[in-house]
Amino acid sequence: MAIAATIFAFLALTGSACGAPLPADQAQDHIGEIATVQGRVNVRRTFDGETYLYVGGTGPTAPFSAYVSRWNAVKFQDVDHLDGKEVQITGRISTFRDKPEIFLTDPSQIAAK
């Protein structure tokens, strides 16, 4: 059963990568979907250990973001090297403060382009 769940999760994450990535400003139209969002990233860490990857802009005004909780931060120690680079982020698009966001749990969800 665990193997089937792992395979399903892998296919869900990689299946959207086969289609064209969404520009950051189009992520809002795909809330609830598993998709890949592409754009230039601005990485910001908070004092409490959270990390935000703002895509298509800088800070909270960016049209899309990806979030790493402090509990997952140990897996994303090298994320700072992506700052200013073009990236693709894959996962289920949800919302946070009325903006589209992907909650990151695994570094494989991010690919530098």
Please state the rounded mean pLDDT for residues 82-100. Answer: 97
What is the rounded distance in angstroms from the CA atom of residue 61 to the CA atom of residue 54? Answer: 8
State how many domains the chain has. Answer: 1
Distances from the Cα of 81 to the Cα of 53, 57, 85, 102, angstroms? 12, 17, 8, 19
Query: Which residues form the domain of 55?
Result: 2-112
**What pLDDT score was predicted for residue 19?**
76
Instruction: Out of 8-12, 26-30, 31-35, 70-74, pick the least confident.
Output: 8-12
pLDDT tens string 67-79: 999 999 999 999 9
What is the rounded distance in angstroms from the CA atom of residue 41 to the CA atom of residue 74? Answer: 20
Residue 8: CATH number of its domain: 2.40.50.140
| Residues listed for the chain | 113
Burial of 29 (0-12, 13-18, 19+ CB in 10 A): exposed
**pTM value > 0.85:** no
